[in-house]
Structure 1
Amino acid sequence: MSEEHEVLLQIKQLKTHFHLDEGILKAVDGIDLTIKKKRTLGIVGESGCGKSVTSQAILRLVPEFAKLEGELLLHRTKGNQKGEQVDLAQLPLRSKALREIRGGEIAMIFQEPMKAFSPIHTIGNQLMESILLHQSDNRKEARHIALGTLRKVGMSNPEQRLNEYPHQLSGGMRQRAMIAMAVSSNPSLLIADEPTTALDVTVQAQVLDLLNELKETVGTSIVFITHDLGVIAEMSDEVAVMYLGKVVEYTDVDTLFHGAQHPYTEALLGSIPSISRSGARLDTIEGTVPFPMNLPSGCGFYSRCKKAVDGVCNVADIPLVEVSEGHYVRCLLAGQ
């Protein structure tokens, strides 16, 4: 098997449930994903589908009161454990191994850098903290690496930016600084949680080009989380469509855009503006994502689906089945 197709992270039946007074909130409800080396997995879906909780669960960043089940099998690529397989779900939260993996082997670009950065520490201090933890204990060398990383991500005047605070940077600069922090240790896996949110189109294109360049030059695998299917088309090799905490369709990016079979995926694709549909009304998905608590049996998309059949789709939970090689769909009416 070539390195490009080796598995880096295998997610098996991942569940993240929050036990509240009102009941059990099933934010992520049994998903299976495969992240391969030097590949990009796109995760797409509406707000509230469980995308961000999935990414946080991988790094064990969900609150301690959340119940996490399943397997997160990581093939280590660094340190003394290189080549070994570890289940992240079984590691103690305060273990040395988990600290080494966070930021060292798996890094994350958070959704809102203004909130992710500390407002009382300079960009340089926060960037060097990660480098000192995972690469070098020499502050002079750490500063040199930090400057080089800021240059790599296209930050203007990096010497000045190191001494500035997050509020002194523009949105695009903060996003570049967040990416620099994430890639400073050359992680094996980079999780990008809607990294282009609130950025203008020009800066968005620059950020996407930067991530693609990092994948090519460093060999980093990427999990790209977004609700923008246009970004998914540009960035992803494989795509997982999530709805109500479950994967409803999983395939390569070309098949998704030209042969989607789940009604939810078809509805998402139908809502994309295009020049060929100039003047025509865009398709809409009626209603909103249900609150993931005390849900009825059957397909989670049943109440919003135009193809739903009473007595078929709302009777029992729908399994994720392989309809063709590498194409998985969670729908009894797939292909109809």
Structure 2
Amino acid sequence: MSEHDAIILEMKDVKVHFHLDEGVLKAVDGIDLQIKRGKTLGIVGESGCGKSVTAQAILRIVPKPGEVVGDINLYRNDANHKNEATNLTNLNPRGKEIRDIRGGEIAMIFQEPMKAFSPIHSIGNQIMEAILLHATEDKEEAYRIAVDILKKVGMSNPEQRLSEYPHQLSGGMRQRAMIAMALSCNPSILIADEPTTALDVTVQAQVLQLINDLKSNNDTSVIFITHDLGVIAEMSDDVAVMYLGKVVEYTDVDSLFYNPKHPYTKALMNSIPAIGRENKRLESIEGTVPFPMNLPQGCGFYSRCKLAVDGVCNVSDIPLIQVSKGHTVRCLMVEAEHKEIEVVS
């Protein structure tokens, strides 16, 4: 299998900037990611680090005045698009080609279903619209698919729910309906943005299993965005840790949990409750993610990092270095520990 056969989506130096009266807000500031076929990429980080905007950039739904630059290459591997790359950033956000991809080849489970669903159309109308656009033109078949997918996500009395409106459903039911709509067309890439936030633990387990089944049965690639490191450990093959619009560490899931390198990643790991540490106070990361506008030079984590060195970490932008095969880190302190390193970007 060639390199491009193994990769379904590749992001190269992708930036999402919002040009405001106060200045340029850099929500995503030059990230490089690869999503492999049939694998799950977990994206983790604090609120405001650019995770959701990264997902919006892929689907070309970044709200105005946001501007997406860089390359987002979708590699199709079917009969009509053998090994052909489509650069999504070159497509018209309202054009037919991206609309065929959006919801069909790439689907997204949004974090806030109340905002994602139309309040004036029934749940069934919205789910069936996606199915009729991307899967079948038969309305009866679309109805059967909609009922079946609602059953799979644990929705009680699915036939009745299809005729109801978003405001008539609880938060958990709306979330399940949003998940059902994303899964209904068997997408090649599923972007899950905090998909289980509003769900109780038992339904959360069902939804995660459903996503894993889709991944196994249809060779679906998944981009899983979450704050929950436990879910990351359970779901992901590779993990990207984001901070202030940049990827600060990228590696496989085992290396992330057993051999984290970046100080921010280590701090996240130390904040997880663990058996045997019941009487120990959990560590916390002091401060908050800086506002991504008019930022000073240097590491974005400088003001919160216990290892930061004045005159070193706050002088110039920090390059991404490779500390081992497939393991990259954006930190000068890690660079100092590894005499022979490769600068990636």
Partner of 1:72: 72
Aligned mates of 2:2, 2:98 — CA distance in 1: 28
Partner of 2:28: 28
Contact between 1:302 and 1:313, CA under 8 Å: does it hold in 2?
yes
Paired residue total: 336
Cα RMSD, aligned residues only? 1.8
Offset at 1:136?
A: 2.0
**Identity over aligned pairs, percent:** 71
Specify whether residues 190 and 111 from structure 1 end up closer, same or farther in structure 2 by C-alpha distance, changes over 3 A only.
same
Matches within 5 A, 1:315-330: 315-330=315-330
Residue 137 of structure 2 aligns to a residue in which SS? coil
214-223 or 43-52: bigger deviation? 214-223
Query: Given the alignment of the two structures, is residue 180 of structure 1 paired with residue 156 of structure 2, yes or no?
Result: no
Contact between 2:153 and 2:206, CA under 8 Å: does it hold in 1?
no
Offset at 1:82?
A: 5.4
Offset at 1:77?
A: 4.6
Partner of 1:111: 111
Aligned mates of 1:324, 1:312 — CA distance in 2: 23
Residue 334 of structure 2 aligns to a residue in which SS? coil
Query: Given the alignment of the two structures, is residue 279 of structure 1 paired with residue 271 of structure 2, yes or no?
Result: no
Gap regions ≥5 residues in structure 2: 338-345
Offset at 1:81?
A: 3.7
Offset at 1:169?
A: 2.6
| Cα shift readout 1:76-111 (whole Å, capped 9, x = no counterpart) | 256844542100000012221101000010000000
Partner of 2:134: 134
What TM-score do the two structures reach when normalised by structure 1?
0.96
Contact between 1:77 and 1:188, CA under 8 Å: does it hold in 2?
no
229-238 or 200-209: bigger deviation? 200-209
Contact between 2:242 and 2:248, CA under 8 Å: does it hold in 1?
yes
Aligned mates of 1:4, 1:242 — CA distance in 2: 25
Matches within 5 A, 1:81-92: 81=81, 83-92=83-92
Contact between 1:4 and 1:38, CA under 8 Å: does it hold in 2?
no
Aligned mates of 1:190, 1:136 — CA distance in 2: 19
Residue 283 of structure 2 aligns to a residue in which SS? coil
Partner of 1:298: 298
| Cα shift readout 1:255-299 (whole Å, capped 9, x = no counterpart) | 000000000000000111112110111111110000001111110
Matches within 5 A, 1:196-275: 196-275=196-275
| Amino acid in the other structure paired with 1:170 | S
Contact between 1:122 and 1:164, CA under 8 Å: does it hold in 2?
yes
Aligned mates of 1:88, 1:13 — CA distance in 2: 14
What TM-score do the two structures reach when normalised by structure 2?
0.93
Aligned mates of 2:210, 2:72 — CA distance in 1: 28
Offset at 1:238?
A: 0.2
Residue 333 of structure 2 aligns to a residue in which SS? coil
Partner of 2:311: 311
Structure 1 stretches of at least 4 aligned residues deviating more than 3 Å after TM superposition: 2-5, 77-83
310-319 or 82-91: bigger deviation? 82-91
Contact between 2:186 and 2:218, CA under 8 Å: does it hold in 1?
yes
| Cα shift readout 1:117-175 (whole Å, capped 9, x = no counterpart) | 12222111010110111122222221122122223333222222211222333333222
Aligned mates of 1:80, 1:179 — CA distance in 2: 28
| Cα shift readout 1:29-79 (whole Å, capped 9, x = no counterpart) | 000000001100000000000000000000000024212110000012568
Residue 11 of structure 1 aligns to a residue in which SS? strand
155-164 or 318-327: bigger deviation? 155-164
Partner of 1:56: 56
Aligned mates of 1:324, 1:133 — CA distance in 2: 45
Partner of 1:146: 146
Specify whether residues 70 and 242 from structure 1 end up closer, same or farther in structure 2 by C-alpha distance, changes over 3 A only.
same
Partner of 1:9: 9
Aligned mates of 2:186, 2:99 — CA distance in 1: 16
Contact between 1:302 and 1:308, CA under 8 Å: does it hold in 2?
yes
Contact between 1:76 and 1:82, CA under 8 Å: does it hold in 2?
yes
Residue 180 of structure 2 aligns to a residue in which SS? helix
Aligned mates of 1:202, 1:146 — CA distance in 2: 22
| Cα shift readout 1:300-328 (whole Å, capped 9, x = no counterpart) | 00000001111111111001111001000
Contact between 1:4 and 1:36, CA under 8 Å: does it hold in 2?
no
Query: Given the alignment of the two structures, is residue 332 of structure 1 paired with residue 332 of structure 2, yes or no?
Result: yes
